[in-house]
A and B are shown apart, each in its own frame.
Chain A
């Protein structure tokens, strides 16, 4: 089954509202990562967050490895935050490092 579950699948906000995106993992992991994908564009890394809380501007990522979950909080959303947010869990191994992605959350922020 799907090893990485993301919720919600889509979210519509009014500008200024906050958002909480969730990621749950079905297996143990080495680390996890959050990416942003602008519409029709490539992926940009937001956070590499193996555990604990990290903040960058209006974005905060919290990972609790023992509970196999991670969240991304967006405060005071802006229209430019619109796009797809993807979490991925990382596997380190002798045959290289792999990322296993969730299905993403499509965020739309209305003016």
Chain B
């Protein structure tokens, strides 16, 4: 069976630091997503990508970069971590044709000291 793997599971950073989160999927899905989850705010879309080397901005793209170097992987960079920031970053993927529910990874939990 397929799986979505997010690394690292936990990430502790310093204020101002550049941090990179990685996501791999072996479903051969075309579309991949990065969401941020804050307590009480649900999930907000940061970036998504409909194919290799494609990038589409979500509602929360400011302060982030993303990269889709190959179909199976989608990375997210926090360009400058904010002090006391705490959030969960969720990666998801879905097939490109029609609409099917995206499948989610287990998340990366970020804490900034």
The answer to whether A96 touches B31, judged by C-beta atoms less than 8 angstroms apart, is yes
Q: Is the CB of A98 within 8 A of B45?
A: yes
Q: Are A95 and B44 in contact (CB under 8 A)?
A: no
Q: Which residue of B lies closest to A31 (CB)?
A: B99
Evaluate contact between A90 and B99: CB separation under 8 angstroms: yes
Is B13's CB within 8 Å of the partner chain A? no
Q: Considering the complex, give the chain B residue whose CB is closest to the CB of A103.
A: B42
Contact status B101-A86, CB under 8 Å: no
Min distance, Cβ A30 to any Cβ of chain B, angstroms:
7
CA distance A100 to B60 in the complex (A): 12
Tally inter-chain residue pairs, CB-CB below 8 A.
Answer: 57
B residues at A contact (CB < 8 Å): 31, 33, 35, 40-45, 48-50, 56, 58, 90, 92, 94, 96, 99-107
Which chain B residues border A27 with CB–CB below 8 Å?
A: none
B102 neighbours in A (Cβ, 8 Å): 99
Cα separation A68 to B48 with both chains bound (whole Å): 25
- CB neighbours (8 Å) of A103 from chain B are 40-42
Chain A contributes a number of interface residues (CB within 8 A of B) equal to 26
Which of A6, A88, A97, A103 has the largest number of chain B CB atoms within 10 A? A97
Distance of B3 from chain A, by nearest CB (Å): 11
20 more CB-based (< 8 A) A-B contacts, given A48-B99, A88-B43: A9-B40, A33-B101, A42-B90, A43-B90, A43-B104, A48-B101, A92-B99, A95-B50, A95-B56, A96-B56, A97-B99, A98-B45, A99-B43, A99-B45, A100-B45, A101-B35, A101-B42, A103-B40, A103-B42, A104-B42
